[in-house]
Amino acid sequence: MGVNFDRPSKWKEDIAQSVDLYNQWFLNFAPQTYRDERLRATDFVQAMLIRTNLLRKLSPNDLKDNPSILASLRMSTAPPIARDRLVGLASVSKSLVNCMEKEGRLPPQMTKEELDINLEKIMQMISRLIDVDIFPWINENREPNEQEVYRAATIVADRLCGANADPIVRNAQESRQLAKIKAWLESRGYRDVSKDIRANDMEPGTFAFRLNVQGLKENNATVNIPVDAVIMPMTANQGDLPLMVEAKSAGDFTNTNKRRKEEATKVKQLRRSFGNQVRYILFLCGYFDSGYLGYEAAESIDWVWEHRIDELKEFGL
């Protein structure tokens, strides 16, 4: 017998409460979260401007020395360029652009000659499309004053945060959810062992966040599955598996239904690795409708609503 997945008569009320909880959090905290991120982005863009001589002489070496500035450079053009648009316009390697922006480094497998050609193409395209209304000193061939540089940095930072608004809010919400789970567990005597621990080595009464657990694909190839929270119950016996919890939040119904297969794929890979005794549940807050819940229930994936966090006790905690 499950906790929530086999009780569809409760879903409608829970969905409404979950939406209300998410909306309340968003209105109270998301604007400040966004502003804080924009301040950090402004500092980053200002540093980028200093490193690149205020965009007056862009060269491939700027990207070699600081690969992570590429996203800021894309937002410095008119119009701002999406990542894939830059790949197409400059006819460069998509893996190079992704590596620079997502990992902040240059791809080690790319030859020096190929790297130089790609970086030159990128800088030529950025230079061609620089937004001279934001950076008027470039065409006017003069030194900008401090206020002009700060104003330009805030505009580019706002573009960056606008393009990343959903991930910014989603990451803040996930951190908040994990903090709530942590407080709930610690109030019951559980100990955080997140650093340098494997799921198989956890002792009763411990928990860990963002742990990689090894699963198996259909071809029996191993795959590391990131799990938000892994908890070994106080009453666990030798050889028992921990409870695995995926923290999920959503600000609209559309995206959850687009991504609902992700959890099903994870749990199948975990079951191939550990058997059907795997316990994998969701911790939900926000817009999860009956279509999403029904899909997860069909995969025998149970969940706890954040507005009823004490139901974690029903999973042996």
**Number of Cβ atoms within 10 Å of the Cβ of 185:** 19
Q: What number is the average pLDDT over the span 274-299?
A: 90
Q: What is the pLDDT of residue 257?
A: 67
Residues 153 and 68 placed together within one structural domain of the fold? yes
What percent of the chain lies above the pLDDT cut of 70?
A: 98
H-helix or E-strand spanning residue 304: strand 302-305
Mean pLDDT of the chain: 89
Domain membership of residue 15 (yes or no) is no
Residues 87 and 179 placed together within one structural domain of the fold? no
Which of helix, strand or coil describes residue 209?
strand
What percent of the chain lies above the pLDDT cut of 90?
A: 45
pLDDT in tens, 97-139: 999 988 889 988 888 899 999 999 999 999 999 999 889 999 9
Q: From 130, 163, 196, give the residue that closes a domain.
A: 163
Is the predicted pLDDT of residue 258 greater than 80, yes or no?
Answer: no
Q: What number is the average pLDDT over the span 301-307?
A: 94
Residues 71 and 149 placed together within one structural domain of the fold? yes
Residues 200 and 293 placed together within one structural domain of the fold? yes
Domain membership of residue 50 (yes or no) is yes
Residues 106 and 197 placed together within one structural domain of the fold? no
Query: Whole domain around residue 287: which residue ranges?
Result: 167-315
Residues 171 and 307 placed together within one structural domain of the fold? yes
Q: What number is the average pLDDT over the span 14-32?
A: 89
N-terminal to C-terminal alpha carbon distance within the chain:
16
Q: Please, which pLDDT band fits residue 220 given cuts at 50, 70 and 90?
A: confident
Q: What is the pLDDT of residue 1?
A: 67
Is the predicted pLDDT of residue 187 greater than 90, yes or no?
Answer: yes
Comparing 207 with 5, which gets the higher pLDDT? 207
Strand partners for 139: none
What is the number of domains present in the chain?
2
CA distances (Å), origin 129, targets 45, 89, 96, 150, 306: 17, 11, 20, 20, 46
Q: What number is the average pLDDT over the span 153-160?
A: 89
H-helix or E-strand spanning residue 226: strand 222-232
The amino acid sitting at 48 is M
CA angle 104, 32, 102 (to 5 degrees): 15
Q: Strands 243-250 and 279-286, how do they pair?
A: parallel
Is the predicted pLDDT of residue 264 greater than 90, yes or no?
Answer: no
Q: What number is the average pLDDT over the span 161-173?
A: 78
Match 């070994």 to its residue by tokens. Answer: 232
